């Protein structure tokens, strides 16, 4: 950025200075000093402080060494700098790249008494808000007098853009009390703030003000009104605004209004209305196609989304990103990564949102090699490691089993939000590294980041997996007493889980009884599982009775109840629940396991023999099972919760679990000594867990298994979870 000092160059010419210096030998050093003082300098860095002229220093230097010179000569030597004008200051504000530069320019504005300029103040507020320095915007606004429409509009826009909705509404009220009448540039941001806070009635009141002002036909205002009604779930009112818009069939200016209504229909799940609107549009832009595609994706219909995507006359980065994100969110991570690769092949440059969606897909199925390729793309293309990209990379590496790389990227990410810190703490937690998780939490505190309820969930998870009950209880008390965060049901569940897994079942029950809220299905389920693990049948039956009094509200609860009866040998009750599941059409989530080999993802489900190498996989599984039995492995048939099966049938059921197929396939297709990484969507059963330990010792390999709760690092016959999970 051009230095402000360039604006203050003295008007005296170099020739005149040289002549003055030669008139007396005694004044030669003095003239040199003065000349150096007036020489303009340019900052070498955009963040370097902007030099300011100091006329007093120049005057003092000349007066000390030139006392015998005539006054006319002194006047010729010292000519005050010309103050900058609005026309010179405003381009500097626009050209600033950091908030530090804004502060430096502001200092010069104050120095030259330009703070009263409404135009300069408006630009300062806008530029500070753009760089997310709302406090500076407010300070500039508060010190400017008199306030006018332009300064109020700039501040309200900045507050709304930075999601300070309540403050934006407060200043809108201040604007009205000051007797300043809002205009067409005020109302859109006020309406957005109303929608952000879901203030339906106030939003309708603003609509009335718009009507009284007579600006309801302004296209910007009408779009904002429709958008506000969509966000507060008043779709009928949004359609009324749409129907009253005379320009809605004007192909040149109405697309934005149509897109808002299509998005509203998609949000409400009214896809037929959305399609009808889309077909009736006078002109379909790329954003219109992407809006409808996104609507189908968010409603779970990826087939229709793909159909529309293929029909698009011209695809851009937004439409590609919508599809990648849609497949990732709907559980088809393989398709998401396939589309991302195709996008690169067609030389469409992805943006940060595309890359974050692709990394999220990698994290869900443990596609480490694909994640490494995306990370290499980021580096090769010189993409800045923003907070969003850094957080996505940390999450990907942590969930793909490479916690060391996650920590490395975390250190390289300069802009860390609370989500970045949370992802790193959670990464350490699910890998069983409680000390590193707590150390990361302390670093976050030193960085001035205030923890939220999700951070404490991560910390309690770390303590639960490492068995540090006292430390976990201290964190639980701290969140309430030190940070005034009320624990949710999830926090209470983790404490019950923590006490139960450490064998402190009576303490867990007392903790439940002292809860300020009624324990739910998950709380009693956690206690039941702990009782089952520690062979405490009496308390397990007590927990089961509590479960029976609660109506299952989730598919998994029915499955859990059936398995709980079976675990206690209550086969008739287990069968009764299974019949109930069938009659109610409850769908059980199928278990799957993923493994990545040479960049290709392979998916296995329980009892699945459809893989192209199924025969070789089954033979390998029989081989490693037989070898493990010789080492002392005993198939845990108690994990098969069906009483009417013969022992041989139970062995077959255990042998068909997806993670075992994935393990056998990895042993066939990967080099000896290579780490095996498996991702499972459900919790690993005790039998599979036991087999993994034996295989890690037999094959001299590290096996990293991620289930729905944590990571299990199997090495030399033992697991990082110490058989508590």
Asked whether residue 434 carries a pLDDT value surpassing 60, the answer given is yes
Peptide linkage before 477 cis (omega within 30 of 0): no
Listed range (154-158, 399-403, 682-686) with the worst mean pLDDT: 682-686
**724 or 87, higher pLDDT:** 87
Which helix (DSSP H) or strand (DSSP E) does residue 604 occupy?
strand 600-605
Most confident stretch, 116-120, 526-530, 636-640, 721-725: 116-120
Buried b (16+ CB within 10 A) or exposed e, 583-600: eeebeeeebbbbbbbeee
Strand arrangement, sheet containing 711-715: 600-605, 592-597, 676-680, 703-706, 711-715, 718-719
> Is residue 701 within 8 Å of residue 674, measured between CB atoms?
yes
Contact indicator for 190, 161 with CB cutoff of 8 Å: no
- Place 624 in a pLDDT band, splitting at 50, 70 and 90: very high
Please tell me the predicted confidence (pLDDT) of residue 428.
97
Say which residue, 640 or 557, is predicted with more confidence: 557
**What is the rounded CA–CA span in Å between residue 576 and residue 463?**
38
pLDDT of residue 35: 38
* Residue bearing the bigger pLDDT, 25 or 637: 637
Say whether 602 sits in a helix, a strand or coil: strand
Buried/exposed 424-438: b ≥16 CB within 10 Å, e otherwise: bbbbbbbbbbbebbb
Q: In the structure encoding, which two tokens stand for residue 284, read together?
A: 């379909």
User: What angle separates helix 134-143 from helix 149-161, to the nearest 10 degrees?
Assistant: 160
The predicted pLDDT at position 651 comes to 42
- List the structure tokens of 93: 């504000």
pLDDT surpasses 60 at 207 = yes
Residue 269 neighbours by CB distance under 10 Å: 12
Helices (DSSP H) in 568-613: which residue ranges?
Answer: 571-583
* Residue 520 in tokens: 């739910």
Q: What is the pLDDT of residue 80?
A: 56
Q: Would you say 498 and 464 are in contact if contact means Cβ atoms under 8 Å apart? A: yes
Q: For residue range 669-694, what is the model confidence (pLDDT) as tens digits? A: 999 999 999 999 988 888 899 999 99
pLDDT for 274 beyond 80? yes
**Mean predicted confidence (pLDDT) in 238-256:** 81
Are 254 and 226 a contacting pair, CB within 8 Å? no
SS3 601: strand
Q: What is the model's pLDDT at position 649?
A: 39
pLDDT in tens, 303-332: 999 999 999 999 999 999 999 999 999 999
**Bridge partner residues of 678 (DSSP):** 595, 705
CA separation for the pair 278, 183 (Å, rounded): 32
How much is the pLDDT for 537? Answer: 80
pLDDT at residue 9 tops 50: no
Using CB atoms within 10 A of its CB, is residue 703 exposed (0-12), middle (13-18) or buried (19+)? Answer: buried
The DSSP output letter for 43 is -
pLDDT at 509: 95
Tell me the Ramachandran region of residue 623: left when phi exceeds 0, alpha when psi lies from -120 to 50, beta otherwise.
alpha
HEC states along 470-499? Answer: HHHHHHHHHHHHCCCCCCCHHHHHHHHHHH
Query: So what's the pLDDT on residue 555?
Result: 58
Q: What is the tens place of the pLDDT at every residue in 540-596?
A: 888 888 877 776 655 566 666 666 666 666 667 667 666 666 665 555 567 899 999
Which range of 96-110, 529-543, 639-653 scores highest in mean pLDDT? It is 96-110
For the ranges 73-87, 506-520, 555-569, 647-661, the maximum mean pLDDT occurs at 506-520
- CA–CA dist 207, 245 (Å, integer): 14
Listed in sequence order, the residues at least 6 apart from 646 whose beta carbon sits closer than 8 Å to its beta carbon are none
pLDDT surpasses 70 at 67: no
CA 152 centroid distance within chain: 31
Q: Give me the pLDDT at residue 31, please.
A: 39
Residue 512: pLDDT above 90? yes
Its pTM surpasses 0.85:
no
Output the six-digit token pair for 649.
């049938």
pLDDT for 29: 39
Number of other CB atoms surrounding residue 700 within 10 Å:
10
Average pLDDT for residues 171-196, to the nearest whole number?
Answer: 96
pLDDT score recorded for residue 45: 39
CB atoms near residue 626 (< 10 Å): 10
- Report the distance separating Cα 472 and Cα 462, nearest Å: 8
Peptide bond into 701 cis (omega under 30): no
Q: Average pLDDT of the chain?
A: 84
For residue 641, pLDDT over 80 is answered with no
**φ, ψ for residue 246 (rounded to 5)?**
-65, -20
pLDDT at 43: 39
For residue 625, give every residue at least 6 positions away whose Cβ sits within 8 Å of its Cβ, in sequence order, or none. Answer: 633, 635, 655, 691
What's the confidence (pLDDT) of residue 627? 94
Contact 260, 195 (CB under 8 A): no
- In angstroms, rounded to a whole number, what is the distance separating the alpha carbons of residues 295 and 267? 7
Question: Structure tokens of 683?
Answer: 């919790």
* pLDDT tens digits, one per residue of 446-504: 999 999 999 999 999 999 999 999 999 999 999 999 999 999 999 999 999 999 989 99
What is the spatial distance between Cα 83 and Cα 471, in angstroms, rounded to a whole number? 63
Contacts of 688 (CB under 8 A, 6+ apart): 654, 657, 659, 660
Q: What percent of the chain has pLDDT over 90?
A: 65
Q: What is the mean pLDDT of residues 247-257?
A: 74
CA distance 192 to 439: 40
The pairing of strands 703-706 and 718-719 is: unpaired
Confidence of residue 654 (pLDDT cuts 50, 70, 90): very low
**What is the DSSP-derived secondary structure letter of residue 31?**
H
pLDDT band at 28 (very low <50, low <70, confident <90, very high): very low
Q: Which of 82, 80, 139 is nearest to 115 (CA)?
A: 139
Residue 186 has pLDDT above 70, yes or no: yes
pLDDT bracket for residue 176 (50, 70, 90): very high
Q: Which residues partner with 560 through β-bridges? A: none
Can you give the C-alpha Rg of the chain in angstroms? Answer: 34
Sign of CA dihedral 325, 331, 335, 341: positive
CB 631 within 8 A of CB 694: yes
Tell me how far apart the terminal alpha carbons of the chain are, to the nearest angstrom. Answer: 58
Q: With bands split at pLDDT 50, 70 and 90, how would you rate the model's confidence at 52?
A: very low
Q: Provide the residue count of the chain.
A: 725
């Amino acid at each position: 950025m051009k230095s402000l000092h360039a604006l203050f160059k003295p008007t005296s010419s170099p020739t005149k200075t040289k002549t003055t210096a030669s008139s007396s030998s005694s004044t030669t050093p003095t003239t040199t000093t003065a000349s150096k003082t007036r020489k303009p300098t340019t900052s070498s860095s955009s963040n370097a402080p902007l030099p300011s002229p100091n006329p007093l220093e120049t005057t003092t230097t000349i007066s000390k060494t030139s006392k015998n010179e005539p006054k006319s000569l002194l006047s010729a030597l010292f000519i005050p700098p010309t103050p900058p004008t609005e026309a010179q200051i405003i381009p500097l504000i626009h050209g600033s790249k950091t908030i530090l530069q804004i502060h430096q320019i502001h200092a010069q504005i104050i120095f030259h008494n330009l703070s009263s300029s409404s135009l300069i103040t408006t630009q300062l507020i806008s530029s500070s808000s753009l760089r997310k320095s709302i406090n500076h915007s407010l300070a500039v606004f508060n010190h400017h007098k008199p306030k006018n429409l332009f300064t109020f509009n700039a501040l309200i826009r900045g507050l709304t853009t930075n999601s300070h909705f309540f403050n934006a509404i407060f200043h809108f009220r201040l604007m009205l009390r000051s007797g300043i009448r809002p205009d067409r540039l005020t109302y859109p941001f006020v309406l957005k703030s109303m929608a952000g806070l879901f203030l339906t009635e106030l939003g309708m009141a603003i609509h009335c003000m718009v009507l009284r002002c007579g600006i309801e036909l302004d296209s910007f205002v009408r779009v904002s009104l429709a958008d506000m009604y969509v966000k507060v779930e008043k779709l009928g009112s949004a359609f009324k605004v749409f129907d009253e818009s005379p320009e809605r069939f004007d192909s040149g200016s109405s697309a934005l209004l149509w897109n808002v209504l299509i998005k509203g229909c998609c949000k409400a799940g009214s896809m037929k209305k959305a399609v009808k609107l889309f077909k009736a549009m006078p002109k379909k832009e790329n954003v219109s196609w992407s809006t409808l595609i996104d609507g189908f994706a968010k409603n779970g219909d990826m087939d229709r989304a793909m159909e529309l995507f293929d029909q698009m006359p011209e695809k851009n980065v937004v439409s590609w990103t919508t599809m990648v994100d849609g497949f990732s969110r709907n559980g088809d991570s393989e398709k998401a990564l396939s589309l991302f690769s195709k996008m690169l092949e067609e030389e469409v440059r992805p943006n940060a949102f595309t890359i974050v969606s692709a990394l999220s897909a990698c994290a869900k199925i443990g596609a480490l090699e694909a994640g490494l390729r995306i990370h290499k793309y980021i580096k090769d293309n010189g993409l800045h490691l923003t907070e969003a990209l850094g957080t996505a990379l940390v999450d990907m590496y942590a969930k793909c089993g490479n916690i060391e790389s996650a920590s490395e990227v975390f250190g390289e990410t300069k802009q860390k939000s609370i989500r970045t810190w949370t992802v790193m703490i959670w990464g350490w937690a699910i890998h069983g590294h409680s000390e590193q998780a707590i150390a990361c939490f302390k670093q976050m505190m030193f960085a001035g980041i205030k923890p939220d309820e999700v951070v404490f969930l991560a910390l309690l998870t770390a303590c639960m997996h490492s068995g540090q009950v006292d430390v976990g209880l201290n964190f639980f008390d701290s969140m309430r007493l030190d940070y005034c965060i009320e624990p949710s049901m999830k926090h209470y569940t983790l404490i019950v889980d923590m006490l139960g897994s450490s064998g402190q079942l009576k303490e867990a029950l007392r903790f439940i009884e002292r809860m300020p809220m009624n324990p739910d299905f998950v709380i009693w389920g956690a206690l039941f599982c702990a009782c089952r693990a520690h062979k405490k049948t009496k308390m397990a039956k007590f927990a089961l009775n509590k479960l029976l009094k609660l109506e299952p509200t989730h598919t998994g609860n029915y499955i859990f109840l059936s398995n709980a009866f079976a675990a206690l040998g209550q086969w008739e009750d287990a069968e009764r629940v299974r019949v109930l599941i069938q009659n109610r059409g409850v769908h059980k989530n199928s278990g799957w396991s993923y493994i990545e080999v040479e960049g290709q993802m392979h998916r296995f489900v329980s009892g699945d023999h459809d893989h192209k190498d199924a025969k070789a996989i089954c033979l390998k599984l029989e081989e490693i099972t037989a070898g493990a039995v010789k080492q002392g492995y005993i198939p845990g048939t108690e994990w098969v919760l069906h009483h009417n099966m013969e022992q041989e049938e139970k062995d077959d059921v255990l042998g068909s679990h997806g993670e075992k197929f994935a393990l056998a396939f990895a042993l066939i297709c990967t080099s000896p000594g290579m780490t095996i990484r498996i991702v499972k969507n459900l919790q690993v059963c005790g039998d599979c867990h036991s087999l993994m330990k034996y295989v890690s010792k037999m094959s001299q390999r590290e096996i990293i298994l991620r289930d729905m709760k944590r990571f299990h690092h199997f090495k030399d016959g033992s697991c990082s979870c110490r058989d508590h999970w």
